[in-house]
Structure 1
Amino acid sequence: MGRFILKRVVLVIPVLIGVTLLTFMMVHLVPGDPIVVMLGDRATAENVERLRREFGFDRPLYVQYLDYVWSALQGDLGSSIRTRQPVLDEVLRVFPSTLKLTAAAVLVATVVGVSAGMLAATAKHRIVDFLTMALVLVGISTPTFFSSLLLILLFSLKLDLLPVAAGSGIKPLILPSVALAAPAAAVLARVTRSSLLEELRKDYVRTAYAKGLKDRTVMTVHVLKNALIPVVTIIGLQVGGLMAGAVIVESVFARPGIGRFAVTSINARDLPAIQGIALVAALIYVTVNLLVDILYGFIDPRIKYR
């Protein structure tokens, strides 16, 4: 097992190099002079030259990249143009709120999606199956900002059951986490249904029924474990979508977080902050998928020997 984990970690190294290269090139791919873009109306010749030296743009590109990677390894992602504070400090300040929202959304999406997929699979080609798949289609098709506004209108303004504004406790987290989780739950429901139906057609299921095992025993003990293997992978892949959706949800619900910080930084043309946010988000996504990959090996031991 140790060799399997080491192999997965080694395979992540080229991905991390690619991530640092892409985030580094973000600044240099900006049309025109990135310093002029950051300064905007304050782009005097003196200010441009000062910031060019401050950010090291007067050095060769490969030297800038190596310096960027070395600084990132030491936890230095530069300073925000807008706040003059270290970017990493700014990200760490708002990260707990986004982590709480994303974790809640993953939990809601997993519970609702897997349950809906199981319900649809066990009622194949019946009215429950058709209704569930119709809801799945709605969940996938509805934009996150629209579902966020709909939830606010229904549960906060009309029924006055849940608050809109961010705050402490679980109640302020319910509406944004449900809005964020809806598309992911729909995808998980579809994958769970397809995976269960595929497993139910296999020989070992017919053997289990031939031995006189009950439907619940066959489903929970034998089928579900094998059917959830691809679902685990999908959950890891959905983390990226949830982090992207957090930008919209945090803005609609006025929640502090990385998404809202990113929008503010983009509006302020704060390229160092945008670069740092992109790097942190990419590293989180890579780390989560590495953990899912390792977990996949525990769930399906056959993976270790491939």
Structure 2
Amino acid sequence: MTRFLRSRLLDLVIGVLGVSTAVFFLLRLTGDPVALLVTETATREEMEGIREAMGLNAPLWEQYVSFLARALRGDFGESIRLAKPAAALVWDTLPATLELTTAALGIATLLALPLGMLAAVYRGTAIETAASVLTLAGQSMPFFWLGILLILVFAVELRWLPSFGRGTWWHLVLPAVTLSASTMAKTARLVRAGMIEVLSQEYIRTARAKGLGERTVILGHALWNTAIPVVTILALDFGVLLGGAVVTETIFAWPGTGRLMIQAIQGRDFPVVQAAVFILAVLFIVVNAALDLLYVWLDPRIRHR
């Protein structure tokens, strides 16, 4: 277990360093943020003064070292657009993003487990066909297309649900369903494949031969053993959900970190983008490590190695 924790800590350092480095240099290719801050009448001397104050005149390697040193202290500088600490802006919007991604992950899991299980148990029937159609549709639809479709149906035509904002739990329904679709489809297909394999194992036939009820065999033995690889997929999909939240939050005007990032990228607000990427990268790796620990707990073969 100690070796596992050391490995995960190393992954955290390498992952955050790699992502932060890539974002730092890619942002420098997008243009001059000072050009967005000044008016057309600004002189070259005024623009140079602003660049000097922001540290943009320093050599690139010097800017990078300064960025890493400050990032380790949690200091990402001030937002160019809002003149507020970049990290504070990210922390203010992060709860909304976590609320959305957690709800999406919960919806995906609650729908995928029974859907995949039914498709495996009732192979060759209309139930399997319906499940296959649903999973194919969920995996094929882009976030933006599904989000717009749900808004048209449930917000515009039926007027059942709000289409934007974060006022009540009802505001969470459409963006969470939109974000969960791809993960639900992928997980359901994995559950189906895992259940089919597990149901063909010798111990399942033995359990049936002993007279155990079909519900006990399916839920108590087959589904439990299928859940182990599902945990790994859900851990990886957490990162997919964080990425999808950028699009989903923009569509539904959800006040999260993803929407903040889009606005910061459009405004070339380097400190905010860097802070958001750094914090989300740390969050993603920590969540993956936690789910890896859960995987170890679920699978005794790994726990006793």
Partner of 1:247: 246
Measure, in 2, the Cα distance between the counterparts of 1:101 and 1:253: 11
Measured against aligned partners, the alpha-carbon deviations of 1:275-306 in whole angstroms (never above 9, x if no partner) come to 22222222222121111112111111222455
How much is the aligned-residue C-alpha RMSD, in angstroms? 2.2
Establish whether residue 272 from structure 1 lines up as the match of residue 288 from structure 2.
Answer: no
Residue identity matched to 2:277 = A
- The residue number in structure 2 matching 1:172 is 171
CA distance in 2, matches of 1:44, 1:115: 65
Tell me which residue corresponds to 2:255: 256
Aligned counterpart, 1:114: 113
Task: State the Cα deviation string for residues 116-144 of structure 1 (Å, max 9, x = none).
Answer: 11111111121100110111101111121
**Aligned pairs, how many?**
304
Cα distance, 1:47–1:116 mapped onto 2, change above 3 Å: farther
Q: Which residue of 2 aligns with 1:104?
A: 103
CA contact (8 A) 1:102 1:177 kept: yes
User: 1:157 deviation in Å?
Assistant: 2.1
Per the TM alignment, residue 40 of structure 1 is displaced from its structure 2 partner at its CA by: 7.6
Identical-residue share of aligned pairs (%): 39
Q: Which residue of 2 aligns with 1:132?
A: 131
| TM superposition shift of 1:97 | 1.3
Change (3 A) 1:15 1:252: closer
Q: 1:251 to 1:17 in 2, by over 3 A?
A: closer
Mapping 1:86-235, distance limit 5 Å: 86-235=85-234
1:66 aligned onto 2:65: yes
Letter in 1 for 2:111: V
8 Å CA contact retained: 1:35, 1:48: no
Instruction: State the partner residue of 2:10.
Output: 10
Q: Is the 8 A contact 2:34 2:51 kept in 1?
A: no
* 8 Å Cα contact 2:33-2:269 kept in structure 1: no
TM-score by length of 1: 0.90
Q: Write the letter of the residue equivalent to 1:174.
A: V
Q: Give the residue type in structure 2 aligned to 1:108.
A: I
Amino acid at match of 1:21: T
Counterpart for residue 22 of structure 1: 22
Displacement after TM superposition at 1:211 (Å): 1.8
2:284 aligns with: 285
Q: CA deviation at 1:36?
A: 5.7
Unaligned runs of 5+ in 2: none
Post-superposition CA distance 1:59-113 (Å, at most 9, x none): 4544433322221121111211111111111111211111111111111011011
Rounded to whole Å, the distance in 1 between the matches of 2:8 and 2:282 is 15
Q: Distance in 2 between matches of 1:170 and 1:184?
A: 21
Q: CA deviation at 1:3?
A: 4.4
Structure 1 residues without counterparts, runs of 5 or longer: none
**TM-score using structure 2 length:** 0.90
